[in-house]
Chains A and B, each alone.
Chain A
Amino acid sequence: EIVLTQSPGTLSLSPGERATLSCRASQSVSSSYLAWYQQKPGQAPRLLIYGASSRATGIPDRFSGSGSGTDFTLTISRLEPEDFAVYYCQQYGSSPPGLTFGGGTKVEIK
């Protein structure tokens, strides 16, 4: 079973700053099946990035994803007030089939 470890657990930043979130896998993950989600309180998660680096429909270009193998990164170039939320990475494995989520990174206002 692949384990995804996200760091840091909490990121305290100010609006306008750059946020860099890490997702590390316990073994190599196909980039095609690495995704990032944003979740705000009381809401379902929202897909931000799929295939490690492709933005989902309607996602602003300040959000970008990168990485391969076991190390993946979500970058928010300039934080907007609406970006303060919890972010999860997720991978899909075909053998055995299943989804795994990271533990999440909370981006909070400093």
Chain B
Amino acid sequence: QVQLQESGPGLVKPSQTMSLTCTVSGGSISSGGYYWSWIRQHPGKGLEWIGYIYYSGSTYYNPSLKSRVTISVDTSKNQFSLKLSSVTAADTAVYYCARFDGFVDYWGQGTLVTVSS
């Protein structure tokens, strides 16, 4: 059973860079066949795809966030990470990491990140 767990600061100041890490257990990122994704959900709103990465390091980002997003992978730790720069209050959301192959079959529990001074 694959499990994903997000970790990182729950509070970030405006204009700073937020960083989250997703630790995968029960399966190896480097085994291939899946993309590893970040998805967010603003309070009371719908789901927004941020981007995803393959174990090789290939990345694809949502065009609306592309200029501020970096997703990286550390196969030795079985982790992948999200960095979002120049955050504002509009980036306050629950951030989910997920396994994806055309559809998302495993999700992390989600972590709330609040942008506030």
Chain A residues near B (Cβ < 8 Å): 1, 32-33, 35, 37, 43-47, 50-51, 56, 88, 90, 92, 96-104
Contact = CB atoms under 8 A, between A and B. Distances in A.
B35 to A, nearest CB: 9
Contacts of B46: 88, 101-104
Interface of B: 37, 39, 46-49, 52, 60, 62-63, 96, 100, 102-105, 107-110
Contacts of A37: 104
Contacts, number: 58
A51 B105 CA distance: 12
A102 B47 CA distance: 8
User: Chain B interface secondary structure, helix, strand, loop or mixed?
Assistant: strand
Given A35-B103, A51-B102, A99-B39, 11 more contacts: A35-B102, A44-B107, A45-B47, A46-B107, A90-B103, A90-B104, A92-B100, A96-B60, A99-B100, A99-B104, A103-B46
A1 B48 CA distance: 14
A76 to B, nearest CB: 19
B55 to A, nearest CB: 16
A44 B96 contact: yes
